[in-house]
Structure 1
Amino acid sequence: MHKNVYTPDNAAMLLIDHQVGTMSWTHSHDINLVKANAIKLAKIGAAAGIPILLTTSMEDQVQGPLISELEEILPEAFANRIRRPGIVNAMHHQEFNDAVKALGRKKLIVAGITTEICVLFPVLQMLDEGYEVQVAADTSASRTKYGDDLALRRMEKAGAVIMTTDQLISEFAIDWRTPLGSKLAIINNYN
């Protein structure tokens, strides 16, 4: 197995600000597809049993609550979500930064709203702090396609791997005949 492969045993997932209000501000991608991918990513994480950290920013303001499906799929992660008071870079919020360290994983899968702000700046810091990062581009969105593209390019140039939710499913599955592969095939509607 290639040493850079992400597996349920070495990776953790960070879902940043998939909030109802925040998602309504994005126009770079079909937000229904982004939401469907966020739900799929949460299901992948739950099925694979990997550590998942959720965070929100100012959820009592216009940003609103996390999409309700995340609470249904990840009740424990939802209950333990890190509620940031408005700090743009989640990694600057000590509670979130400590929670990421406490996951004990150096390989991080990151997705969030918006790509150009709420994903970009924490990912750049995660890379600086020595984490390996894969960004799920199809589970993230920005106000504009231009802003989204530039953020993805900047993260990739800094060392992040840009991927899709389906690529992650295949990377985790390895073999569709295994118990995990079978679960992931169902999540991805490959059955």
Structure 2
Amino acid sequence: MSQASPIPGRGLLTPQDHTILMIDFQSQMAFATRSIDAITLRTNAALVAGAAAGFEVPTILTTVAAAAFSGPMFDEVTEPFPGQSLLDRTSMNCWEDEAVIEAVNAAVNERVVLCGLWTSVCIVGPALSALDQGFEVLVIADACGDVSDEAHDRAMDRMVQAGVRPMTSVQYLLELQRDWARGETYAMTTDLARKFAGGYGLGITYARQMFDASEGQTVGEAAE
């Protein structure tokens, strides 16, 4: 008979066990995206970028044909990583780009998390390629978008059927925090939630205000 213990499941992400690729969050790519509105897309991308930077997750920022066609990467994605180079490519599948693969190998993680534009091309390509090479792959579905709902949904179906695990941007942030007693990242996590996490962020704001009023300190301060 199985015995329960207070240990997190191995399927949960930690800041140290994965590499995240943020792919082609560029103006021209967003122009044609219809499966998610631009404001929500940029908000979710900002939440993911902030979480990855705040938890010091190895992060690869890659663009496609930035100068010739697709334009610059969203400021919300690049600002949490000051001075980090963007790996520009000609290939639609970033897994076929040597500089990207060099960065993936340098991170020495067998888990890869993907998000970006478009789901059916620039996310499906590296997802299926990474799976084929023995990596575990997760895709942040609400930080991806495509030219139609059908294109995004069928791409997610195809990846999940192949073994990809889908998740959301808020799930990504909270899975990395996972315990409010982790004081070193408490303020960063709640700040990101309040700024970018919509209704959940409103709940975080209210809960923190109530706690501050009743206790005179934050959960993070109490944990220190």
TM-score (norm 2): 0.81
Secondary structure at 2:60's aligned position in 1? strand
Offset from partner CA, 1:121-149 (integer Å, 9 cap, x none): 11110111111111011101000100000
Offset from partner CA, 1:73-132 (integer Å, 9 cap, x none): 11133xx22110x21111011111121111111111110100111111111101111111
When structure 1 is superposed on structure 2, of 60-69 and 46-55 the one drifting more is 60-69
Residue 47 of structure 1 and its aligned partner are, at CA, apart by: 0.8
Matched with 2:192 is: 187
Amino-acid identity (%): 28
Matches of 1:149 and 1:53 in 2, distance apart?
Answer: 25
Matches of 1:81 and 1:59 in 2, distance apart?
Answer: 10
Residue 70 of structure 1 and its aligned partner are, at CA, apart by: 2.5
Q: Which runs of 5+ in 2 are unaligned?
A: 1-7, 195-203, 206-224
Tell me the amino acid that sits aligned with residue 160 of structure 1: V
Matches of 1:20 and 1:75 in 2, distance apart?
Answer: 20
Matches of 2:108 and 2:21 in 1, distance apart?
Answer: 13
Higher relative contact order (CA 8 A, sep 6+): 1
Tell me the amino acid that sits aligned with residue 31 of structure 2: S
When structure 1 is superposed on structure 2, of 130-139 and 170-179 the one drifting more is 170-179
Matches of 2:167 and 2:94 in 1, distance apart?
Answer: 21
Shift in alpha-carbon separation, 1:104–1:76, aligned structure 2, 3 A: farther
Matches of 2:78 and 2:172 in 1, distance apart?
Answer: 22
Tell me the amino acid that sits aligned with residue 115 of structure 2: A
* Residue pairs, 1:20-99, within 5 angstroms: 20-77=27-84, 80-84=85-89, 86-99=90-103
Preserved CA contact (<8 Å) 1:174 1:181: no
Secondary structure at 1:75's aligned position in 2? coil
Q: 2:13 aligns with which of 6, 13, 17?
A: 6
Higher gyration radius (CA): 2
Matches of 2:161 and 2:24 in 1, distance apart?
Answer: 24
Tell me the amino acid that sits aligned with residue 27 of structure 2: V
Offset from partner CA, 1:33-81 (integer Å, 9 cap, x none): 011111110000111011110000000122111112223211133xx22
Secondary structure at 1:50's aligned position in 2? coil
Residue 180 of structure 1 and its aligned partner are, at CA, apart by: 1.9
The runs of 4+ residues in structure 1 deviating greater than 3 Å are: none
